[in-house]
């Protein structure tokens, strides 16, 4: 029987889709470099939801595919808002856009967690004194619709990171949170930049 997940790690573990015991140190992403998207004067309101998104973790699940996708959206939208790309954002259920926002965003794609089931069992038997790793691979695809014009835009990225799960990783939680925020910040930058270059998030005259 595995030990309960430490409370400060719940949001981090959920965001990474890890069915973990003990505590985890989460590394930074490995594929996306830093970029500086073009500034915009329009600060839109965005409604976002989860479409055809699949979440898989070797050895079990802690969250559903819909929840894993919702957590990705929340992290990316928070990064957009913190960087001033958007004014605000709100999550809605699939098919329940209200039409009140400037843009409607739908996530699709997948998140896959690669981990040794044998090491997870061994780690559980030792109450996570023996560590194991979970490598997360993200395939994130966004479809964005302009509510006023009906025009649609699309963007996609791939990223991965690794989590190290062990009882005493509790002390690394601040670094894990920083790494996770930095990764989703870069994911957000790349997705925003792709959408912006297609004409999204701009006044009509600027987008032409």
* Arithmetic mean of pLDDT over the chain: 82
In this predicted model, what pLDDT tens digit does every residue of 84-138 receive, in sequence order?
A: 999 999 999 999 999 999 999 999 999 998 887 787 777 677 767 778 788 999 9
What pLDDT is recorded for position 171? 60
Give this prediction's pTM: 0.81
Strands (E), the chain: 23-26, 45-57, 88-91, 103-114, 132-146, 152-166
Cβ neighbourhood burial of 30 (10 Å; 0-12, 13-18, 19+): exposed
Q: Which ranges of the chain have pLDDT less than 70?
A: 1-25, 59-62, 123, 127, 168-173, 175, 204-208
């Amino acid at each position: 029987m595995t030990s309960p997940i430490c409370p400060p790690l719940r949001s981090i573990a959920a965001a990474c889709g890890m069915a973990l015991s003990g505590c985890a140190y989460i590394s930074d992403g490995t594929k996306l470099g830093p970029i500086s998207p073009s500034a915009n004067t329009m600060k839109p309101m965005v409604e976002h939801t989860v479409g055809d998104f699949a979440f898989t973790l070797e050895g079990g699940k802690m969250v559903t595919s819909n929840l894993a996708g919702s957590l990705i959206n929340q992290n990316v939208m928070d990064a957009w808002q913190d960087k001033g790309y958007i004014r605000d954002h709100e999550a809605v259920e699939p098919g329940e856009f209200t039409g009140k926002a400037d843009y409607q965003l739908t996530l699709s794609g997948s998140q896959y967690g690669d981990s040794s089931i044998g090491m997870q069992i061994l780690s559980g038997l030792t109450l996570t004194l023996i560590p194991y790793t979970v490598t997360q691979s993200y395939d994130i695809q966004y479809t964005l619709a302009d509510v006023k014009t009906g025009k649609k835009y699309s963007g996609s990225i791939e990223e991965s990171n690794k989590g190290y799960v062990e009882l005493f990783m509790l002390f690394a939680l601040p670094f894990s949170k920083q790494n996770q925020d930095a990764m989703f910040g870069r994911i957000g930058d790349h997705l925003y930049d792709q959408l912006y270059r297609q004409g999204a998030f701009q006044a009509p005259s600027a987008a032409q």
